[in-house]
Structure formats: C-alpha cells, structure tokens
Chain A
C-alpha cells in the first residue's frame, strides 16, 4: 500500500520492472569476488590473534616462509606507520596489528601460497610471542577507574578541562536545551530506566573477499566486494603509502553489506602479498573470520528519563548514553545522542554521550548506526508514559510530533518531514484498527534517521539505436541499478529496458562516495538526472541541426524533440541518435555533484507477538511498517528495504548477540550459534510506503535503506510487555531472558 502526499504523473518512476541484474543473480551467473580465478593465482590466509588483548613481543616468520608452496609472508612491519593525525591511522592498525593486538581475531600476519591448504599451514607455522594483558569487554567496566587501558594515546575529548591521563573513554558529547529541572517539575508523569544492548553483526550472507593482481609496473587491480570501491582505493592507498593512481578497483557483485562493507579488511593485504609474490592473490574470509574480525555494531548502555504533562506532552528528557566503539574510537555515541529524542518535540533536555573503546572488533556502521539502541530506550519509555496516562500510543506520538520549522534536538530546524504521515498511516491501517488476537501483545514504536548526500558521478551514453547506458560509481546493494534506469527512462522518455545500468570501476566513472546513509538513489540518482538533462539539451541541438533551425526552437517532450512552432514532425530519440555521426558525433553526458538536501527519514511500526510462558519464546505474529520514502522510484525495492530493515531489527531484538568467554574469545562465531532470523521465523511484513516528497531531489527521493531497522527493538519490547506484563530493558529478548522476566513478574523466584 502506498500513501502519497502529492505526485506528478510519472510514466516510469513508481513502476515495478524486473531488475536488470535479476536474471544473473537468480541463475547464479552474477560474479562475486570469491568466484574470480586468475592464471597463476595464489591463495592467502591471515593469522589472527587468539587473545583479546596482548603485547606482541616477537613474530618469527622464517619457518612459514620455508614451507612448500609459500610465496609471500607479511606482517605489520611491512606497512608504513601513519601519523597520529591521519584519519586512516586506526584503519591501518586495525587491518594489521603493530605493537599490540586489541581483540581476538586481530590480524597479525598473512601468507600467500599455491593452495589454500598450504597458506593455512604456513600461517599456523608463524611463531608469535605474546605478553597477554588484561582485557575489558564491558562498557561500564571499561569506563571505571583502573580498567585495562587499550591505548596510552587516547585522552577523552569534549571534557570541560583537558584530561592528564589516557582513558578508554574517547569522547564526551553533549546536547542541551531549555530548563531541564523546570521541565521535570512540570511533569505529571516521570519514567526512567537503564537499557542495555549487545554488539550484533550486520550478518551479510557474502563474506569479505578480494583478488589483487599487482604488476611489474607497480600498479595493482583489485576485484572486491564493498559498498564503495573509491573508498577501497583511498584506504588501500593510505595503508600501503601508495598514490591512488597505482590502484584500480573493480566492483564485484555484493552479497549484502548493511554498513559492514563501508570499510576495508583484506585489500591492502592482498596487494602487499601480490606485490611480493609477483602473482595475483585471493583472500576470502570464512564466516568465523567475519564474526571475529569485522565490525559489529556497538553494544550500549543508555539511561533515560522522560517527563510528561498530564495531557501527554513530553516536558523533559535526560539521557546518559555510552556506546562501545570496539578497539578504536568511533562516532557512535554522538550519533545516538542526535537520534534519541528526534521523533519528539522536547523543549527541555540534557543528553550526554560517551564513546568507549573495548577489546572487541572495531565497530562499523549498521543500517542507521546507533539509532536502534537509542530508540529502544526512548520508545520504551514513551510506551510507559502512554500506559500511565491511559493514552493511545500513536495519539501520544502525534501530540509530540515535530514538523517543518521545529528545531531538531541536534540543532537545525526540520525541513518538510513525514513522521506525522507515518503515524497516521499506521493508526489508520487494518492492522492497528483490528484488535490483537487473544493472548497476543501489541507494540508500537517510531524511528528516525538523517540520510545523507555526499559526492556522486554518473555518465550516460546514448547508443546509435536509441538505447542508453547509465554508468555510476555506486555499488548496487539494494536495487540501485533499477532505480537509476527508471529515473533515466523518465528523463529521456525511453523504455526502462532500453537502458543498461552499469556499476563502473574507479577508472571509468567519476569519484563516488561510499554507498551509506541511504544515499545512492538520492545522490547518485541526482547525478543521473543531471546527466540526462544535459543529454536532452544536446538532443535538442542535434534536432535543430537536422531541421536547420535554431536550437531555441526545439523542445524535448515525452522522449522526442518537438519543434515549438510545429513546422516539423517530432523526432524520436532513436531518430536523432541514428544521425549522431552526421550531426556532431556521439551523444553522451557526465555529471558529478556533491548532493545537498538529503531528506530525513522516519518510520513507524506496529507488531503483535505471542509469548510462550513456559519457554519464553517470542513469536512475531503480525508486523506492519510505514516509512516515508519521499518518492518510491521502484516500489518493490523500497518495500524490500523496509522489510529487510524490520527482519534485521527482529533478529537484533530477539536473538542476536556476541557471546564471549572469560578470556574475551567469541563463543558463537557462526550462524548455528549466532542466530539471525530465517523466513520461518517471520510473518509477512506488511508495508505502507508513505510519500512526502523531498523538495531537494528532482523526483522527491529521501532514501530508504536504513530507518526501517530503528523501531523494531522497542516495538517488540513493548509488545512483549503487552503480552506478559514483563518489562525487559536488556537485549536480546531471548527465551532465557524473557522466561526470567516472566518468572520475576510472577514473583515465584523460580
């Protein structure tokens, strides 16, 4: 179902053609990085730390280098140390440990050999002498005085006075407005609680993989899976100390990223091994390596207090928010602070955030990073306020809903946003208007994510038969080929299947930022539209040549050139391209831009659950999600993004967590023990696309990839409370935890 604010009569935008890359993926012809085999190719293997925290006393690679089939061995000593103020310094130290290992799975050395087995055996033969150090995995423990210190050069920033001692707390951030004491004094209801979430992984199906082929000319070609091959190029160059001109990155198909492939792990290692061996080198992670060595999203501890007047208006908010960042500092607490009360207009608030390093893999973005944990706290307490005041939870949210011109908690005024429309869409849905089945509990929650713009490029070439090729630099991680083709079809007025969308490598298309922040269809789409509009001006000029008139006399309309005075019959695009050689040469256009005006995204969701009171198992019985897409260019893929976000949010809420033993070793690095939801765990996720167009995009696009994962955690926690009367503030809502909460509710102690 789609609810549209206003929409012009588009011919292609908003339709649902079969995606151009669909058949190859269905029949198994799509080429992923791990599929690539080159002549003479070697196989790499990475030696990883068995310790959560240890000093590297010595590494002896002699035995490994002498083993049969081994062609190259590298360690951290083979990479330049970047200056302390280099933004990629921590990336390089994460890819290959230097003086210390900071988490179990931290890379120490890598081997290239003629077979996978030989590489693995050689890696095992590398002798590493460690001085094992105390480790810390828990936020509260890491923040406490006397905690094991990860870095002696990390001093807390954002404090009122400069600290004199290093700390695991990398940063303090703060947002404040109004008079918080008066705000709570004005409240008729005050609710508060501490909320705890665990590190969870993005869970993409395709492990990280790459092949690097370094030539005698000192240049290298990398085939890899990533969310941004231009970032792969720049980060690889930084780690190797190379000029980017020596590196070409060819994007392979990507089997899921969700933020986890916005950074690199393998590529510089493969290049270094290839350069040393003089042969191509392939590196492919196992699932276990993906869990142990790539970035999960942060665990968090959030203490939140909300006050509301007796009419439901929220009068004050106070938040203390600590986020893990893994082995090196990150921006996660800052983002959480900016999101936590954004779906609400609150005049008085104090929000503090703390960024905490712990001995876990470096945290990486995961769909709307940091927002789901914040929403868990905020929307649980909003549910409690609604219950205390006996108000409908959606009416309470509508009462506190921001709109254009209101000031967001993080500073700027909101542009046109669609939160109210999403709330109304859920309120008016069949799901919400029907009563939950007997014994089922219902939960509601809302969520916010910024969306971002950044740099994108596109080249559109017209072929002599009137078809077009659209080349962009955005890897297709969510159906962007189809959305680019649809926007180009709309602009040029030719059939969407007459357009071939292509993801170009770093040498055939202009610089394009990584696909993150739900930006591809918004920003790269904007570049495609700009290039097409340039082409339409060129087509009018060519028609003028053919008609021997001034180009001002020609207009482009519905896929053809028309003479404004009607002195000539319209010329279809194919008729003009067929004559292109005679009228000035091939027709093509390129646009590169820094996209501005990304439209904030909101989602509102409702779910019904049942809870087995004997086992604590939660079953999601029904789920409906409404999300403001701005404009749905290809509704199938908008709905897919909405459903995917909800599915991952359900897994995060109900089952997923990193589990470590006493030594800091991950105990569940596989999909048997780290349980992501499968189809049989989920109901049909009903979608309501809300379209409140973003005025800053030619087709009103906001971006849809992330915000859908924000509301599921509080929606499910609220539903579990509704079903059981047990309020649970720690994830996951797994059977043991739910059963314990039910037992505690019963007061039977057992």
Chain B
C-alpha cells in the first residue's frame, strides 16, 4: 500500500485528510482511486502544469504512467522550474 500525503493546500480537496493508504501499481491507478475517495480531486492533481509527484523522495514532473513501488511514500507537490 502506498502512503499518499497531501499538503495543507491540497487538504481542502480531501476534506482535511492529510494522508491515506492506497493500493495502486501506477500513478494513473492512484489518481483513479483517489478520485473515487475524494471526488473532484483528479482534476486538480492530474494537471502537469500544477502538480508533480514525489515517489520515495524522487520528484517526477510528468508521472501519469509511473510505477509505484509497494509501500512507497507519495507526495503531490508543486511542479519545479529552474533557471
């Protein structure tokens, strides 16, 4: 089960839930299951312009098909830019 964490700003989409466990093999499956748990959240999280994902600390900018290892720690974070 992946441990999925939400920032304070994202918790308005989860009814205040800060983290939850989800059984998902890929980010796509994770987003689908999160949408079932928190209707409307996918529209926010599925936009590469507004959200990246960190899986076990590795920040992935465009992660839709990314596999999620068992017991991974997942954070939805802002997409990074650089100079």
Contact = CB atoms under 8 A, between A and B. Distances in A.
Contact of B9 (A158, A518, A598): A158
A335 B77 contact: no
Given A450-B80, A516-B82, A412 B59 contact: yes
Interface string B30-72: 0000000000000000000100001011111100000000000
A160 B12 contact: yes
B20 interface: no
A563 interface: no
Given A87-B49, A411-B77, A412-B75, A368 B82 contact: yes
B81 A335 contact: yes
Given A334-B78, A518-B82, A413 B57 contact: yes
Contact of A369 (B8, B12, B81): B81
Contact of B61 (A259, A415, A452, A705): A452
Interface residues of A, number: 48
A260 B81 CA distance: 12
Nearest to A454: B61
Interface in A405-458: 410-415, 449-454
A367 B49 CA distance: 20
Contact of B81 (A176, A331, A415): A331
A92 B7 CA distance: 32
B28 interface: no
A518 B82 CA distance: 7
B59 A706 contact: no
B83 A412 contact: no
A32 interface: no
B-side interface size class: 20 to 34
Contacts of A176: 7-8
A706 B82 CA distance: 8
B9 A516 contact: no
Given A174-B7, A410-B7, A412-B73, A452 B12 contact: no
Contacts of B73: 412-413
Interface in A352-383: 365-369
Contacts of B8: 174-176, 350
Interface in A320-362: 331, 334-335, 337-338, 350
A226 to B, nearest CB: 13
Interface string B1-36: 000010111001000000000000000000000000
A230 interface: no
B54 A367 contact: no
Contacts of A87: 49
B83 A331 contact: no
Interface string A385-412: 0000000000000000000000000111
Contact of B75 (A259, A411, A519): A411
B61 A412 contact: no
A173 B83 contact: no
A367 B60 CA distance: 20
Contact of B59 (A172, A350, A452): A452
B79 A331 contact: yes
Given A452-B59, A452-B61, A598-B59, A411 B7 contact: yes
A262 B83 CA distance: 7
B9 A173 contact: yes
Interface string A161-196: 000000000001111100000000000000000000
A12 interface: no
A11 interface: no
B36 to A, nearest CB: 22
Nearest to A413: B57
A706 B49 CA distance: 22
The interface residues of chain A, by DSSP majority, are classed as: loop
A291 interface: no
A337 B79 CA distance: 13
Contacts of B5: 411
A103 interface: no
Nearest to A414: B57
A175 B9 contact: yes
Contact of B60 (A258, A516, A519, A596): A596
Residue with the greatest number of chain A CB neighbours at <10 A, chosen from B5, B49, B77, B82: B82
A220 interface: no
B59 A450 contact: yes
B54 A412 contact: yes
Nearest to A370: B81
A479 interface: no
A669 interface: no
A517 interface: yes
Contacts of B59: 412, 450, 452-453, 598
A597 interface: yes
A172 B61 CA distance: 21
B83 A172 contact: no
Contacts of A718: none
B46 to A, nearest CB: 12
Nearest to B6: A411
Contacts of A367: 83
A173 B78 contact: yes
A364 B60 CA distance: 22
A234 B29 CA distance: 29
Nearest to A517: B82
A452 B82 contact: yes
Given A174-B7, A414-B57, A519 B82 contact: yes
A202 interface: yes
Contacts of B58: 596-597, 696
B53 to A, nearest CB: 10
Contacts of A414: 57
Residue with the greatest number of chain B CB neighbours at <10 A, chosen from A174, A260, A350: A174
B14 to A, nearest CB: 13
Contacts of A260: 83
Contact of B77 (A172, A338, A705): A338
Nearest to A259: B83
A204 to B, nearest CB: 11
A302 B42 CA distance: 31
A412 B7 contact: no
A121 B12 CA distance: 56
Contacts of A410: 7, 75, 77-78
Interface of B: 5, 7-9, 12, 49, 54, 56-61, 73, 75, 77-83
26 contacts: A160-B12, A173-B78, A175-B7, A176-B8, A202-B83, A262-B81, A262-B82, A262-B83, A331-B79, A331-B81, A335-B78, A368-B82, A368-B83, A369-B83, A410-B77, A410-B78, A411-B75, A412-B56, A412-B57, A412-B59, A413-B56, A450-B59, A450-B82, A451-B82, A453-B59, A596-B58
Q: Which 9 A-B pairs have the closest CB atoms?
A: A259-B83, A517-B82, A411-B75, A176-B8, A365-B83, A516-B82, A174-B9, A334-B78, A412-B54
Given A369-B81, A452-B80, A517-B81, 4 more contacts: A160-B12, A260-B83, A335-B78, A350-B8
